C-alpha cells in the first residue's frame, strides 16, 4: 500500500492508498484547543478516538446515513471514501454551552426548544468565523438546496445520536459535523464523531468530552475511556 501523506491535521493524518477513491485516516495522540493555541500529546487518545468514531460511523451507516466511513483497519487507522470537504463546520446545539453561552450571555445547560444549527467557515487564518446562509452562498460554498440538505441531515443525525447517548445516560449538548462531496457529487458525512467534536454531560453535569482538556477539569483519556465503555451498551 502506497501511503503518501496528503494532509496533516490537528487530530489526524490523512494518507493516500492504492485506491485513489480511498484514504487512510490515522488518529493522533494530540489534543488541541482554542484553534491550536493549547496543544498537548496525550498517550492513548488516538486509539480511543478511532474506536469511538468508527463505532458511531458504523451505526450511522447502518441507520441509512451516507458517510465516508469504510472500515477500521487498526487501533489508530481507518479507511474512508475520498471526499471533497465542504469548508463548513456544521454545529448543532441541543443545549446552551461554550461559545453560544458566551455570545448570548446565557448560562450553560439550558435546553433549547428546537435544536439550533449553525455554520462556521472553515478557515484557520480567520479563526473559523460564525456565518449565516447568505454568507455561505456569497462564498459559493453551497447552494440553497445544499444548505437545506446540510441542515436537514444534521437534524436527522442529531435524533439518532441523542437517542443512542440517552440510552447510556449521557446528554448530547452540542456537536460539530463536516460533510463532503463524494466522487458522484453526493453530499456525505465526513471527518469524525468523537468527544473531540461534541459535548457530552452525564446525569450529574460532569463533562465527558474535550472540555475536560480545554478547561483543565481532569484527564482526557480517563473520560474518553468511560464514554467508549458506555457505548458498548447501545442497542
pLDDT digits (tens, 9 = 90+) for 25-62: 999 998 887 766 778 899 999 999 999 999 999 999 99
Chain segment 145-179, per-residue pLDDT in tens: 999 999 999 999 999 999 999 999 999 999 999 99
In this structure, is residue 154 part of a structural domain?
Answer: yes
Mean pLDDT of the 205-222 span: 93
In the chain, the number of structural domains is 2
Dist CA 193 CA 25 (whole Å): 13
Average pLDDT of the segment spanning 173-201: 97
Residues 75 and 23 in one domain: yes
Task: With cut-offs at 50, 70 and 90, classify the pLDDT of residue 90.
Answer: very high
Retrieve residue 230's grid coordinates: 458506555
Q: What is the reported pLDDT for 2? A: 63
**Residue 122 exposure: Cα atoms within 13 Å on the Cβ side:** 15
pTM (predicted TM-score): 0.94
Q: Are residues 49 and 108 in the same domain?
A: no
Mean pLDDT taken over the chain = 95
**Domain identity same for 208 and 95:** yes
Residue 197 belongs to domain with CATH number = 3.30.470.20
Amino acid at each position: 500500500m502506497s501511503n503518501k501523506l496528503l494532509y496533516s491535521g490537528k487530530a489526524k493524518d490523512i494518507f493516500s492508498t492504492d485506491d485513489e477513491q480511498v484514504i487512510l485516516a490515522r488518529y493522533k495522540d494530540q489534543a488541541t484547543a482554542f484553534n491550536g493555541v493549547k496543544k498537548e500529546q496525550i498517550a492513548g487518545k488516538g486509539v480511543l478516538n478511532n474506536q469511538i468514531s468508527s463505532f458511531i460511523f458504523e451505526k450511522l451507516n447502518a441507520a441509512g446515513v451516507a458517510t465516508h466511513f469504510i472500515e477500521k483497519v487498526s487501533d489508530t487507522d481507518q479507511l474512508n471514501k475520498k471526499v471533497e470537504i465542504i469548508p463548513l463546520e456544521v454545529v448543532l446545539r441541543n443545549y446552551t454551552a461554550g461559545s453560544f453561552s458566551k455570545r448570548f450571555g446565557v448560562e450553560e445547560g439550558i435546553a433549547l426548544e428546537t435544536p439550533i444549527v449553525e455554520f462556521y467557515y472553515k478557515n484557520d487564518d480567520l479563526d473559523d468565523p460564525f456565518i449565516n446562509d447568505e454568507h455561505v452562498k456569497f462564498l459559493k460554498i453551497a447552494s440553497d438546496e445544499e444548505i437545506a440538505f446540510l441542515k436537514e441531515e444534521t437534524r436527522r443525525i442529531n435524533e439518532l445520536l441523542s437517542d443512542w447517548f440517552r440510552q447510556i445516560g449521557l446528554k448530547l449538548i452540542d456537536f460539530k459535523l463536516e460533510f463532503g462531496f463524494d466522487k458522484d457529487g453526493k453530499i456525505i458525512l465526513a471527518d469524525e464523531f468523537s468527544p473531540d467534536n461534541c459535548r457530552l454531560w452525564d446525569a450529574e453535569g460532569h463533562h465527558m468530552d474535550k472540555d475536560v482538556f480545554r478547561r483543565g477539569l481532569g484527564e482526557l483519556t480517563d473520560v474518553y475511556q468511560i464514554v467508549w465503555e458506555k457505548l458498548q451498551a447501545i442497542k
